[in-house]
Structure 1
Amino acid sequence: MTGQKELLTLDEINRMNKTEFVAALGGIFEHSPWVAEGAYGQIPFHSVEQLHGAMLETAREAGEEQIAGLLRAHPDLATRLKVTPLSAAEQQGAGLDRLTPEEFRQLTDLNAAYTEKFRFPFILAVRGKNKDDIIAAITERVQRPHQEEWEQALAEIGKITFFRLNDLVTGPREASV
């Protein structure tokens, strides 16, 4: 990715004051620096997974309206509107910048139906997926009940933010189980 931020070490993060911490990690959760602010109180972090867990806990324990705001902060996939550099890079990696006009219309229509039903945009961790995977996922998920999809959207945010954090922070990793 061009324009990627310089990697931070976990030690550097643990030595940051709150302002520095939020400046460095506030963009991990889309347009929601309050997540980093809330996680700051759990410093020091002994692994990237522990840092991510603190951020996820902050997001999940927020009030329903704040969580809804976090969900609504995510862009529609394949939107032609301005998105954050992290979202743009993730979407390009999945081929969403190379949709045919028909695929773009299909995804636009599916996004509209999804957003109308759930009142937040379709959220999917697109890393490792292609445009066909994404279209299949939204086609299936738009049929789900609201609460199930709310939980799925939060789980997808967990995946997205874990990728972002791992791309930004070097340091101890917890062993895979």
Structure 2
Amino acid sequence: MKFTVHQLSEMSKQQFVESIGWVFEHSPWVAERAYGAKPFRSLSHLHLLMVRQVEEASEGERLSLLRAHPDLAGRMKLTDASQKEQRGAGLDRLSPEEFDEMTALNEAYVTRFGFPFIVAVRGLGKEEILSAIRERVTHEKTDEFGRALSEVAKIARLRLEDIIKSGEAGE
């Protein structure tokens, strides 16, 4: 269902969280906290307020947010949004060799950083995603923690754009 920013501002907290609490993967607390800053002036304003909630959260909450994301091309149950995004990037059509490499890289990444590899896959192909994980698994933990949170924010922005009625997405 699509909403206007005005409609989102007029919702009860429960309606608001039910409507957009999913844009930050399995982390409705982001929407719950952003709700108090309404009215929302635009999609960009709403996104900024939600990202601010993540930035102001404890390190443990931010780590839990990262850990709420599935492994790319993994076999675990995905949310509808993640499944659609991964399918769009071709991650459901990896060759056996690509799947084995992605699995090994995901495992190495989680072992090194303590959270799954996160990238906003929309608009990327499987080769670009494999290249990104190969490169990012070599980063320092503090750098990668920030990069992963930045990717989460990108994913949330794209998801908000999908549910905000056209004409408001660029605001």
- The match for 1:172 among 140, 157, 168 is 168
Corresponding position of 2:5? 10
Q: Which residue of 1 aligns with 2:152?
A: 157
1:146 and 2:141 matched: yes
Unaligned ranges ≥5, structure 1 = 1-5
Q: TM-score, normalised by structure 1?
A: 0.94
Letter in 2 for 1:49: S
- The alignment partner of 1:8 has SS state of coil
The aligned runs of 1:4-153 (5 Å cut-off) are 6-153=1-148
Distance (Å, rounded) in 2 between the aligned partners of 1:10 and 1:141: 35
The aligned amino acid for 1:71 is: L
Unaligned runs of at least 5 residues, structure 2: none
Deviation at 1:172, TM superposition (A): 3.3
Q: What per-residue deviation string (whole Å, max 9, x for no partner) do you get for residues 147-166 of structure 1?
A: 00001001101110000000
- Structure 1 residue 60, shift from structure 2 partner: 1.2
- Please list the CA deviations of residues 67-98 of structure 1 after superposition, one character each: whole Å capped at 9, or x if unmatched: 00000000000011101000000000000000
Number of corresponding residues: 170
Q: Deviations over 1:32-81 (max 9, x none)?
A: 00000000011001100000000000011100000000000000000111
Contact 2:51 2:153 (C-alpha < 8 Å) held by counterparts: yes
Aligned structure 1 segments of 4 or more residues deviating by more than 3 angstroms: 171-175
Q: Show CA shifts across 1:16-44 (max 9, x none).
A: 01111111111000000000000001100
Distance in 2 between the 1:71 and 1:138 partners? 15
Amino acid at match of 2:168: P
C-alpha contact 1:56 1:158 (8 A) present in aligned 2:
yes
The amino acid of 2:65's aligned partner reads L
